[in-house]
Structure 1
Amino acid sequence: MHENDISFEVRKAAFKVHSALGPGLLESVYEVALAYELRQAGLLVQTQVPLPMVYAGIQMEAGFRLDLLVAGKVIVEIKSVETLQEVHFKQLLTYLKLSGLKLGQLINFNVAHLKEHMHRLVNGL
């Protein structure tokens, strides 16, 4: 499955989760529900995937964790905050660079209308 097709499924599942649960819950709640919906759609979903970094030629565990990795191709970073900050976008871009993956989705569930709060980020590689 291509990254764009996976991204479409992520968006569709996120709308379903947000419609059912609404805003104001913990990120972990949205993570579990979104993973469930994506699995129901037939996608392989990994949660809290450790992401090491390489420094001075040595692989190090730096505490990075991907909220969701969908089909081994798309990183989904989930937030439940008043407003997304620049650091949230940079965090996802860092994950994309460290993983070598092309596409990420940043989703803030703590909003009244989800559409404007889902962002696709592309790793320029």
Structure 2
Amino acid sequence: MCSSLYDVLESYESGKVKKGSVRVSKWMGYRNESMTFDEIMEQVEVAFAEKFGSKDCNKYPTVVEIRPSGGPACESLFTVLRHVPDDQIDMKACGKSPHIFQSEWPNFSVYIK
């Protein structure tokens, strides 16, 4: 089994969990500060819907990096990266937002559920 993004290397637990190798690929990122995870994910959904015409971004593989703030009531820096198909990437749209950017990733291993 394979997709356009990854190759399955091994399957575990009757195929429910798979080890995969993600091919070199382009990812779209959103970076901003926020108090909560839910708040930043809502910002991501709105921003991606405006730029790429789809609010159904949950169908795309997503990676989130959180850099915690220094205090208990401060905003943390969130970076949300989504693999968006190449035909949906519009670099002109990215240039108009200070929060949206494109990132190219090397081949890497993942576990898929």
TM-score (normalised: structure 2): 0.26
Q: Between Structure 1 and Structure 2, which shows a larger proportion of strand residues?
A: 2
Larger radius of gyration: 2
Q: Between Structure 1 and Structure 2, which shows a larger proportion of helix residues?
A: 1
TM-score (normalised: structure 1): 0.25
